[in-house]
Amino acid sequence: MVTNTNQPHGRTVLQAHQISKSFGSKLNSTEVLKGINLQVREGEFVGIMGPSGAGKTTLLNVLATIDRPTSGTITIDGQETSKMKDAQLSTFRRDKLGFIFQDYNLLDTLTVKENILLPASLGGLSKKAAEEQFNDIAGILGIKEHGHKYPHEISGGQKQRTSAARALVNHPSMVFADEPTGALDSKSASALLGTLEDVNKSRGVTIMMVTHDAVASSYCSRVIFLKDGAMYSELYRGDKARQAFFQDILNMQAVLGGDRVDAR
Amino acid sequence: MTLVDLVIRSMRKNLKHYYLYFFALIFGVTLFFIFSTLQHDSAVVEQTDLSAKMASGFQAATVLLFGILLIFVTYANDLFLKRRSREIGLYQLVGLTKGAVSRLLIIENILLGAGAFIVGIGAGMLVSRLFLLLLMKLVGYEGFVNLSFSGAAFLQTAVVFAVLIVITSFRMFWKIRRSQLIDLFNDDKKDEHPKQPKPILSALLGILGIAMIGIGYWFANSEYMMTAFLFFNMLLVLMLVIVGTYIAFRVTIGWLMTLVRKQQNGHIGLAGALSLAPLMHRMKANAKSLTVITTLSAMTLAMAGFAYSMYYSTEQETRVRVPHDFLIDEVGEGNEGTSAEIAAQFAEDLDSAGIGYTQQPITYLELTGAFSGENLPDLLNWEGNTVELLVFDTRELKAAGLDIEEPETGEATIHNNGISWLLTKEVFPVGASVAVDGRTEKLNVTSIGTQEVASGYAGVYTQLTLNGETFDRIKEAAPAESHRPLVAFNLDDKGDLAEASAIFKNYREEMTLDFYSTYKESLSYNGIMIFITGFLGLAFLVSTGSILYFKQMSEAEQEKRSYTTLRQLGFKTGEIMKGIRRKQAFVFGIPLLMGLVHSVFAIKSVSFLFTSTDITMPVTIAMIAYALVYLAFAILTIGYYRKTIQAAL
Ligand SMILES: Nc1ncnc2c1ncn2[C@@H]1O[C@H](COP(=O)(O)OP(=O)(O)OP(=O)(O)O)[C@@H](O)[C@H]1O
Ligand SMILES: [Mg+2]
């Protein structure tokens, strides 16, 4: 395992220990994740890369409590999520986590503002406080003036920023994103990544993002490479410029092989 | 893979969408077969001596039932075709021709139809005896009736069903032929985009919809309704209410919801996101079907409520027209002797049969006269016309057991059940000039009685009741040939009515003089009516309920992705279900509620037909039954949503 130094020394937000995940029946099962250990500190922007089928989405889902690991423990914000019941998990997700999906997953029948405020609706937040949160985050993401529009009336990039605003409105401890730029052109993609980087820096939000795209992962502070369900290596950006980090990532991908086609 | 394999595969895959449709089809076949059997079975027809009434009633019912089934089946078919459009597109994409695809769907349709037919006929044969017993009970027939398998009924059902299948198959064929591949892939996404409504226009239209319904209601129950243009007025009311309902669904509800939503200013909340938002943006697309469902609901409900009220009030309403158990007069043809002589013989027969009774002679005066008054209704056109008047003595009527008020001296109470609904309080007082032996006797008519005072004169002649003093004065002056003697009989134990009625038939054949026969006759009419409307209503309910269910089923499927998102965002199934329940309350509640209100007004506008009965009770029961069936469908739907949401993550 190739490791860079320069690790940040924040509080640990996420701690995964010996995560494995198998699909299928007992007799005929495939192990998709093979004992992954991972630690994410507060304020990190972690990218996950790897060839198609490596288990990136599976790992993200398991860490994000959308799916359960077959074995291993996951602790987020000091709470062991792998032991929680479904109902507890739902509450936990709502209060502590945010999600950005590749295909936005906005509710078609809700306006941009309604979509963004949806997670706040059960949090017992006052209308005024929620309004402030909305103004704040929508301002940062530049979609405030589109608040009254329906998803089909805005562009893909705006949709993805709406999705990001929804993920961030509750001040989550951690945001999970699965290929958030997958459906965007390179301009909208870099706009979104830029704002994510900003939010990450200014608000100190911890972000974990799966991506195929070396450009996208060059915005991260650390990139983890998965291969065949195991951690292959990781790269820290440290004080490097984005361009230099991008080169490192490309080199690593070349070593890893198999997925160069996907890198844009 | 052959076409048949494909059919079997696709049917198995779509089973969960089909099963309720299949059930509703079976229900339709069963009901149709039973109605047809009851109509064709000669044993039933002969033994129950209801042939003419029954046949025509059931004939009308089968036609209506066919209509309901046709609408339901085509509608359900369209819905299925739409939701399967992607699958149909895929078949074409992998190289199946349009012809092959329509063959596939038509085979499916025929298999489904044939299956429903076989099961339905089987079920019909099993339960038709039950239905017959129920019918016999409703019409008050106490004999034994044998029911055999009716070939004619089978054939009729088969033909009707074949027609149904052919029509739907042809529609499928035609639709697929016309369709473009690209549309097929977008079909289940159509009307998906919510739009910002134009505020002023929708406010105006929104108010217009409600106003039209309101005006329709008001008009139907106002004095302007009962004019010579009654039929035209009824059409006008119907149009106002139906168009109003459509606008209400298409605009008003959406507009009100927009107002609520604007108020919320983005803070819609989970429940609102799951009820308000999807309802709003589907309202437009659903307006037509909701209007049809609501209008037909209201009609069925009014019909069923009316039929049930008729049945429920048969005894009281018969008493209004036939107040005495038996009445003997002497105008009938072919009777020997005066009313007193016949009464004596009848009394003797009753005595020897051991039946207790009281008898009371009643003498009335058959005179002519005219009415005058300021507020006489146009429809009666009494002014200046001479009418035949039957003048009765309150003392005698009271002695015969009638519960009527005694007017003051010189005053009179009018009794005529046929027109009583036209004579509102404002009409009185009315002057009556009665011609007595060349002079005219002036009487002041102050009120209207709630019933006829002598059996057999219902609605034909106008009757006046006077107090003893006034009656005696007029009787004195009236010529002897205007005196008409009657004898009223009332039994001590009403349980003896059937036996006494049989004896009475030896003397007088007229049914209207005999309470029991009149009652039985009405009961059998009303029984058939309630049987038919009840089951038609049920068939209708089941079909509209399933249409709402199908629609919700496809909505649930379309929104599955939203549920996945919500679950991922950390909303619990229970929290999501709260919003779903609210939505279902609207989806089933609004047509039900509008239907109920419509039918209440419809029944109210004909309630004058029930002079002596409070029909609140039967109407309420009919409505509760209706609401319960809808509730059952709503619960089924909610169950389907729960499953979908649980499977979403
Ligand atoms: N629900 C499941 N049941 C069975 N196998 C699954 C399931 N989900 C994923 N897999 C398998 O697990 C492996 C990893 O899948 P995963 O979606 O995590 O890959 P990925 O790294 O996200 O790939 P991609 O870059 O293509 O999105 C794949 O081989 C996939 O077939
Ligand atoms: Mg993936």
Once rounded to an integer, what is the mean pLDDT over residues B177-204?
71
Q: Which of B584, B590, B562 is nearest to B649 (CA)?
A: B562
Would you say domain A42-70+78-257 falls under CATH 3.40.50.300? yes
Ligand 1 site-directed mutation target among A31, A56, A225, A262, most atoms within 8 Å of CB: A56
What is the residue-averaged pLDDT of chain B?
Answer: 82
Residue of B nearest to A114 (CA): B266
β-strand B411-415 against B430-436: which pairing, if any? unpaired
Instruction: For residue range B335-384, list pLDDT tens digits in order.
Output: 566 777 888 888 888 888 888 888 888 888 888 888 877 777 665 566 66
Tell me the pTM.
0.81
Kindly tell me if the per-residue pLDDT of B411 is higher than 90.
no
**A52 CA distance to ligand 1 middle (Å):** 8
- Predicted local confidence at residue A2, as pLDDT: 43
Instruction: State what percent of residues in chain B have pLDDT above 90.
Output: 12
Mutate: best of A114, A166, A169, partner B, most B CBs <10 A: A114
Query: Please, how many CA atoms are within 13 Å of residue B173, restricted to the half-sphere of its CB?
Result: 12
Atom 28, ligand 1: residue with shortest CA distance? A53
- Predicted local confidence at residue B636, as pLDDT: 92
- Across the interface, whether the CB atoms of A119 and B569 are under 8 A apart is answered yes
User: What is the rounded distance in angstroms from the CA atom of residue B251 to the CA atom of residue A12?
Assistant: 55
Atom 7, ligand 1: residue with shortest CA distance? A23
Domain ranges of chain B: 1-190, 327-493
B646 vs B612, more confident: B646
Those residues with Cβ within 8 angstroms of residue A136's Cβ, 6 or more apart along the chain or in another chain: none
Rounded to the nearest 10 degrees, the angle between the axes of helix B98-139 and helix B3-13 is: 50
- Predicted local confidence at residue B46, as pLDDT: 61
Structure tokens, B107 = 């085979």
Structure tokens, B628 = 């319960």
| CB of A53 sitting under 6 A from ligand 1 | yes
**B139 CA distance to ligand 1 middle (Å):** 69
Residue of A nearest to B567 (CA): A90
CA dihedral B70, B75, B77, B83 (to 10 degrees): 180
B53 vs B519, more confident: B519
Domain ranges of chain A: 42-70+78-257
User: What is the rounded distance in angstroms from the CA atom of residue B264 to the CA atom of residue B258?
Assistant: 10
Mutate: best of B191, B268, B580, partner A, most A CBs <10 A: B268
Task: Kindly report whether the peptide bond that precedes residue B429 is cis, defined as omega within 30 degrees of 0.
Answer: yes
- Predicted local confidence at residue B1, as pLDDT: 60
User: What is the rounded distance in angstroms from the CA atom of residue B297 to the CA atom of residue B320?
Assistant: 32
Those residues with Cβ within 8 angstroms of residue B427's Cβ, 6 or more apart along the chain or in another chain: B373, B375, B376, B377
- Across the interface, whether the CB atoms of A121 and B268 are under 8 A apart is answered yes
Once rounded to an integer, what is the mean pLDDT over residues B458-469?
77
Once rounded to an integer, what is the mean pLDDT over residues B138-151?
74
- Predicted local confidence at residue B102, as pLDDT: 87
Chain B residues with CB within 8 Å of chain A CB: 192-194, 196, 265-270, 273, 277-278, 280-281, 561-562, 564-572, 575, 649
Contacts of B283 in chain A (CB under 8 A): none
- Predicted local confidence at residue B577, as pLDDT: 95
What Å distances lie between residue A144 and A112, A133, A172, B265, B297, CA to CA? 9, 11, 20, 13, 46
Kindly tell me if the per-residue pLDDT of B42 is higher than 70.
no
- Across the interface, whether the CB atoms of B575 and A122 are under 8 A apart is answered yes
The count of other CB atoms within 10 Å of the CB of residue B463 is: 23
Structure tokens, B422 = 């036209």
Maximum distance among all Cα pairs of chain A, rounded to whole angstroms: 55
Chain B: closest CA distance from residue A257 (Å): 32
What Å distances lie between residue A176 and A231, B193, B248, B561, CA to CA? 18, 29, 45, 19
- Predicted local confidence at residue A5, as pLDDT: 43
| CB of A56 sitting under 6 A from ligand 1 | yes
- Predicted local confidence at residue B634, as pLDDT: 94
Instruction: For residue range B205-239, list pLDDT tens digits in order.
Output: 989 999 999 999 888 877 777 666 777 888 888 89
pLDDT band at A146 (very low <50, low <70, confident <90, very high): very high
Once rounded to an integer, what is the mean pLDDT over residues B403-420?
80
- Across the interface, whether the CB atoms of B194 and A108 are under 8 A apart is answered yes
- Predicted local confidence at residue B70, as pLDDT: 87
Once rounded to an integer, what is the mean pLDDT over residues A108-137?
87
Residue of B nearest to A111 (CA): B266
Instruction: For residue range B66-95, list pLDDT tens digits in order.
Output: 888 888 888 888 877 877 887 888 888 887
Instruction: For residue range A162-198, list pLDDT tens digits in order.
Output: 999 999 988 898 999 999 998 888 888 998 999 899 8
Atom 31, ligand 1: residue with shortest CA distance? A53
Kindly tell me if the per-residue pLDDT of B403 is higher than 80.
yes
What is the residue-averaged pLDDT of chain A?
Answer: 88
Residue B163: enclosing H or E segment and its boundaries?
helix B151-178
| A30 CA closest ligand 1 atom index | 5
Ligand 1 site-directed mutation target among A21, A22, A32, A62, most atoms within 8 Å of CB: A32
Kindly tell me if the per-residue pLDDT of B14 is higher than 70.
yes
User: What is the rounded distance in angstroms from the CA atom of residue A249 to the CA atom of residue A234?
Assistant: 10
Tokens 């429809």 belong to B379
- Predicted local confidence at residue A233, as pLDDT: 92
